[in-house]
Structures are given as C-alpha cells and as structure tokens.
Amino acid sequence: MRYTLLFHYQEATADELGPEVLAEGQRAMSAYAATLHAAGVLLGGEVLHTSELSTTVRVRDGVTQVQDGPFADTKEQLGGTIVIDVPDLDAAIAWAGQAPQAQWGTVEIRPGATHLVDGVWR
Amino acid sequence: MSSDEARAAAERAARASYGKLVALLAAPDGDLAQAEDALAAAFEQALRRWPATGVPANPEGWLLTVARNRRRDAWRKPATAPLTEDSSLTGPLEEHDPYAIGDKRLELLFVCAHPAIEEPARTPLMLQTVLGFEAAEIARAYAVPPATMAQRLVRAKKRIKQARIPFAVPDRRAMPERLPPVLEAVYGCAAIAWRGDIGEAQYLAVTLAALLGAEAEAWGLAALTTFTLARRRSSFVPLDQQNPADWDAALIGEAETYLRRARPGGPPGRFQLEAAIQAVHCDRGRTGGTDWPALRTLYAALLTVAPSLGARVAAATVVGRLDGPEAGLAALPGGAGQFQPYWAARADLLARAGRDATAAYREAAALTDDADVAAFLTARISASG
C-alpha cells in the first residue's frame, strides 16, 4: 500500500537557520532517507524550494492565468514529499513519526489511490 | 424444527459471534461494510435453510462460510467492486476454523478506536460492527438524527478500508493512547445494552482487562460492567427498590475482585470511580443500607475526572438523598433537554419534594424506548399525584 508523506512546516531561509542548524537538518534528512531505503519501503522523495519560488497556473474560459506565489497562503507550507510502500496505516504513522520534519512541522499521510507506471495510471 | 426455533438459533449465533464474524470477514481487506452485508445475507439464508435442515453443529462456522462465499461472489461482479490485485488475495485467516482463532473482536475494537478515526464515530462503530446494533438504535442512544449517525459510520468504514487501518492489537508502546477510546466504546456498549443484555459488553471488558494485564482502568471497566450484570433483571425496578436477594452474589464477588486488581499509578480514573459507585450500591446487600456520604465523595471525584451529563444528574440525586429534594433539584444540571435520566431524576425529586411531578414523569416516559420503564414512570404519576 502506497502512502505519500506530505511535509508542512514554517519556511525559513538558509540565512535565518544558520549553517549549523541547516547542516543538522540535512544530516537528519539523509539519515531518514537511508533508513527508509534500507527498510525497503522508499519509493521516492522530493524536497521543495520555499513557496516564494512557487508559481500557480489556472486555465479559466480558455485563458491561462499564471501567478506568483503558492496555492495556499498559510503559515505552514508544503516543503517536501516522500512516497513509501508499507503494509498499513500504522506502519505509515510509525515512519511519519520518525521523519525529522515531524519535529519542526506537521507530516500529513495520504494513502495513494493510483500511480503512474510507464506513463499509465495503475 | 420450526422457523421460530431456527430464528432463535440464528439469533443466539448472532449475539454470540456477530463481532467475531465481522472481524474475520473484514480482516483481509478492511471492508467492514461489505463484511456486514455478507453476514446479514448469511443470517437470512440461515433463517430460510435451518428450519428444513436443522441447526448445523457449528452454526458460527456455517455462517462464516456462507458469508465468505457471498463476499467472493461480490468480488466476481466488476460492477460492485473492481477486480484488483487485492481482491485475489485471501487473508491469512481465510481457511481457519473460527474456534481455532483467538478473540478477533479485540482487534476489531482497536481498529474502531484507531486515532485516525474521528472521535465521535469510534463508539458507534464498535456498537455496530462488534455488537451488531442497528444504526437507528445507536442514533437514538446518542440523541442524533439517524441519517447523521449513518453518515458517520459510512465515513469511518470508508476510512478503515481506503487508508488501510490494520486489524491488530497495538503493542504496549501504543497502548496508553489507544486504550482509552476502546474502554469508552465498551462502556458505550454496556450503557446501551443490546436488548437488555450487557453480557456481551461485560465479556469484552473482562477479556480486554485480562489481555492487557496491568491497565487499572481496564479492570475498573471490567468491574463496572460485572456489577451491572450482577444486578441485571428481566423487568425494570429502580435501583433503590431492588431486593439485593435478587442480585447475583457470585458476580458481585467477581466484580469486587476485578476492582481490587485495578492498581492505579495515580488517582483512580473514571471507570474505577464508576465501579466503586456500583460497589457501594451493591454493598446494600451486606449492610442493608446505602452509604450516601460515600457516594457523594465518589461522585465529587468522578465529576472532577469525567464531568458527564449522566454523572451530574446522578450526583444531584445523591444530593437529594442527603440534603433534601429541593437541594437535589437545585443541583440538577441545565441544558438536559432530551436526556431521559434527567427527566426521571427530576420527576423523582419533585415527587419527593411534594410538588407536581406529572409533566416531568410524562417527559421521562416519552423519552425512553423501554416499554417497561415507560410503564413504571406512567404508574408513578398517579402514585405521586
């Protein structure tokens, strides 16, 4: 069963965090990824740039509207995703609880309904 | 055998094993709604077949097999369920004799009380899937419209299936957060009591306490439900008019043993306090009187730990006994519009105070769905008038 972990947290620039905190965060993220991989549950993951670099696109009445900024103007922003394949929700909750992002933000667990294999929805 | 006998046998099997069968049927894919439908169909088939064939030696196994076959048939119809990789899998429990399996109901209880299930749905979900209550009965007990309750149950079942909440008893690390909602739910089962039979809830409570071993509140709940079972009777008589000789002394002894096994690390929790209140009432069998001051103390503690509407009403009746009915009336909580015990307590206090209790008795009688209770309350109108 596939679950996507969505990491929401308050954004901070590298300068705001400082080199030590940044290095510690990266170490924790690497360890987490290595642990997921070693357990054979990791399908993929992505850390995103901050939402000030977001662009949104909508097509309304045939007109494409492009806008700067994220989809939702909230204090906590989507900062990254990891997709895992585990037997059930309890396993997903256990992995979410081990994510470093759970310490400084919120991890949302969403079960996957379908996914792409070679360009086809499965 | 007659169709009445077949119905009685099917109902016995239903009462004894409904939750276990639902748990077994739903375990492979977590689809509670499908499991309940298949089981309902199996019961229907039993009612048609058993009058002719007699009740099978293992009615539970018969029902399980028929329900499983129905589920397989359902999988074969692409209209009802797309054939996915999952539906070709059979669960590890698929080929077991149900008697060879431990009590699956406990797993089901923990599924229903999973933190990923919205809190208001947990107890209703258990009442329906573990004990076989109708959604309408549950809605009445919770004083919400039937459609609201039905929606709540459907949403929760969808979540169990789609988010794949596992059928497993959580390990000891998760127990502190996972246990309270389970206890609440079993308590809910006892409070609503399927056709006046709280044996099922008592069995679940004792099994849960024994399984968990050292959980004080689980033993408190086991004691509470056992006290209630000990005082169970076929017709309604208010507690203070019951003859202790009619109570089951062996069960009272059992309940007291359970309460002694609850060794809380901190202050006693809600279920231990409620069990202690029951113990005081049952002690009337030994001493011939009710220790009202002890009840006042216990209710004060209970209202600190778990200030429910029911506890506030019961505490007011104790005040009525100690400080007089007018003080009891003053202690009744407000905002209890549709809460039957409030009107019953209010009517009793008004009658004791020598005031007109007719309207309150009428309201209390109208709000109960137990014909016995309604008859008792209606009879009180003329007695008190």
Q: Do B166 and A111 touch (CB under 8 A)?
A: no
Give the domain CATH number at A83: 3.30.70.1060
CA B19 and chain centroid, separation: 12
**B186 — pLDDT class (breaks 50, 70, 90):** confident
Report the pLDDT averaged over residues B333-362: 93
Test A89 with B162 for CB contact under 8 angstroms: no
Identify each DSSP E strand in chain B by its residue range.
none
A121 lies in some domain: no
Q: Taking the CA of residue B181 as centre, how many other CA atoms within 13 Å lie in the half-sphere pointing to its CB?
A: 24
CA nearest to A82, candidates A54, A120, A58, A110 = A110
Structure tokens at A77: 């922003």
* Chain A environment of B166 (Cβ under 8 Å): 87-91
For residue B97, is pLDDT > 50? no
- B168 dihedral zone (left: phi>0; alpha: psi -120 to 50; beta): beta
CA distance A62 to chain B (A): 35
DSSP string, B10-73: HHHHHHHHHHHHHHHHHTTT--HHHHHHHHHHHHHHHHHHHHHH---SSHHHHHHHHHHHHHHH
What pLDDT band is residue B348 in, cutting at 50, 70 and 90?
Answer: very high
pLDDT value at position B173?
74
DSSP code string of B147-182: HHHHHHHHHHHHHHHHTT---SPPPTTTHHHHHHHH
Nearest-Cα residue of chain B relative to residue A94: B174
Q: Do B116 and A87 touch (CB under 8 A)?
A: no
Between β-strands A120-121 and A116-117, what pairing exists: parallel, antiparallel or unpaired?
A: antiparallel
Judging contacts by C-beta atoms under 8 Å, the chain A residues touching residue B164 are: 1, 87-89, 111
Low-confidence ranges of chain A (pLDDT < 50): none
Across the interface, do A93 and B116 touch by the CB < 8 Å criterion? yes
Sign, CA dihedral B173-B178-B182-B183, equals positive
Q: What is the pLDDT of residue B80?
A: 42
Answer yes or no: is A87 within a domain. yes
- For B127-136, b/e burial (b = at least 16 CB within 10 A) is bbbbbbbebe
Please check whether residue A58 lies inside any domain of the structure.
yes
Tell me the β-bridge partners of A45: A82
Cα separation of B166 and B258, whole Å? 30
Region B280-285: mean pLDDT is 94
pTM: 0.68
pLDDT at B93 over 60: no
Average pLDDT over residues B17-38: 84
Counted domains in chain A = 1
| In chain A, beta strands by DSSP E | 2-10, 42-47, 55-60, 63-68, 76-85, 105-111, 116-117, 120-121
Contact A90 B163 (CB under 8 A): no
For residue A110, give its domain range: 2-114
| Tokens read off for B89 | 């899998």
The pLDDT score that the predictor gives to residue B385 is: 57
Do residue B170 and residue A93 have CB atoms under 8 angstroms apart? Answer: no
Residue that wins the pLDDT comparison between B41 and B80: B41
Q: How confident is the model at residue B127 (pLDDT cuts 50, 70, 90)?
A: confident
Show which residues on chain A lie within 8 Å of chain B, measured between beta carbons: 1, 87-91, 93, 109, 111
Chain B nearest-CA residue for A88: B164
Closest CA to B166 of B110, B120, B98: B110
Instruction: Compute CA B7 distance to the chain's CA centroid, rounded to the nearest angstrom.
Output: 23
Q: Do B166 and A87 touch (CB under 8 A)?
A: yes
Best of B85, B162, B164 to mutate (most A CBs within 10 Å, chain A): B164
pLDDT score for B15:
65
The proportion of chain B whose per-residue pLDDT surpasses 70, expressed as a percent, equals: 89
The Cα–Cα gap between A103 and A76 comes to 13
Q: Cα torsion for B5, B10, B15, B16, to the nearest 10°? A: 100
| Smallest CA–CA distance from A109 into chain B, residue | B163
* pLDDT, averaged across chain A: 94
Residue B140: the pLDDT is 83
Torsion over CA: B76, B80, B82, B87 (sign): negative
Hunting for tokens 């396993």 — which residue is that? A91
Residue A85 has what pLDDT? Answer: 97
Q: Is residue A120 part of a domain?
A: no
- Contact state of A88 with B165 under an 8 Å Cβ cutoff: yes
Report the percentage of chain B scoring pLDDT > 90: 40
- Residue B90 is predicted with a pLDDT of 40
Does A119 reside within a domain? no
User: Which of B178-183's residues contact partners 24+ apart within 8 Å by CB, and which partners?
Assistant: B178/B110, B178/B113, B178/B114, B178/B115, B179/B212, B179/B215, B179/B217, B179/B218, B180/B217, B181/B113, B181/B115, B181/B119, B181/B122, B181/B123, B182/B109, B182/B110, B182/B112, B182/B113, B182/B208, B183/B208, B183/B217, B183/B218, B183/B221, B183/B271
**pLDDT of B382:** 79
Handedness of CA B83, B85, B88, B89 (dihedral sign): negative
A93 and B164 within 8 Å at the Cβ level: the answer is no
CA distance B127 to B18: 11
- Higher-confidence residue: B198 or B139? B139
* Nearest-CB residue to B166 (from A90, A109, A111): A90
Arithmetic mean of pLDDT over chain B: 83
pLDDT of B344 above 80: yes
The residue of chain A with its CA nearest to that of B117 is A89
Q: What integer pLDDT is reported at residue B324 of this predicted model?
A: 96
pLDDT tens-digit map of B193-206: 544 567 777 877 88
